[in-house]
Structure 1
Amino acid sequence: MKLILVAPNKLLYDAFQEHFHYLPNLEIINNYFETVPEYDCLVSPGNSFGLMDGGMDAAIVKYFGDFLMTSVQQKILDEYLGAEYNKIV
């Protein structure tokens, strides 16, 4: 498995380099996530409400589409309000 850390600014890039440069199978990119040619997973800094309207989350929604935030929020409701999805419908 290869981990890619994406740093859209020099300050974050330098911090990633300083603290993680020695790790195997790690690539640090000083650019935006949209420039990464191929990946299997994207991890957002997110929040427990699924609000994706600022910062990195907003960029992810802009890239993938508005349906993403709605889908994330629905998943949170389905998984963490104590009722199974098939019992709600």
Structure 2
Amino acid sequence: MIERVPMQSAALMSVYVLTIIAVQAIGAVASKLVETQWPSAGLATFLLIFMAEFGVAWPLAVRITEWGIRAAGYRVDGVDA
């Protein structure tokens, strides 16, 4: 009988992509709000959030995925497990 193996890396990448999309949407809204008050600062705000999202989204995605794996009753595989 084949043991059911969870695809933890696929789950992590899916959560990462969804996290990037969510942070990107927040960045777009924030830059539009800044642009209404200071038109020259809108692009700078967007670029700042765009670059920061990659550093923020990965640890957030790891935490969310680890929580989901443990909540499903599986053991987290990886170096820090």
Q: Compute the TM-score of the two structures, normalised by the length of structure 2.
A: 0.29
RCO (CA 8 Å, sep 6+): is it higher in 1 or 2? 2
Kindly indicate which of the two structures has a greater share of residues assigned to strand. 1
* Larger gyration radius, structure 1 or structure 2: 2
Q: Compute the TM-score of the two structures, normalised by the length of structure 1.
A: 0.27
Kindly indicate which of the two structures has a greater share of residues assigned to helix. 2
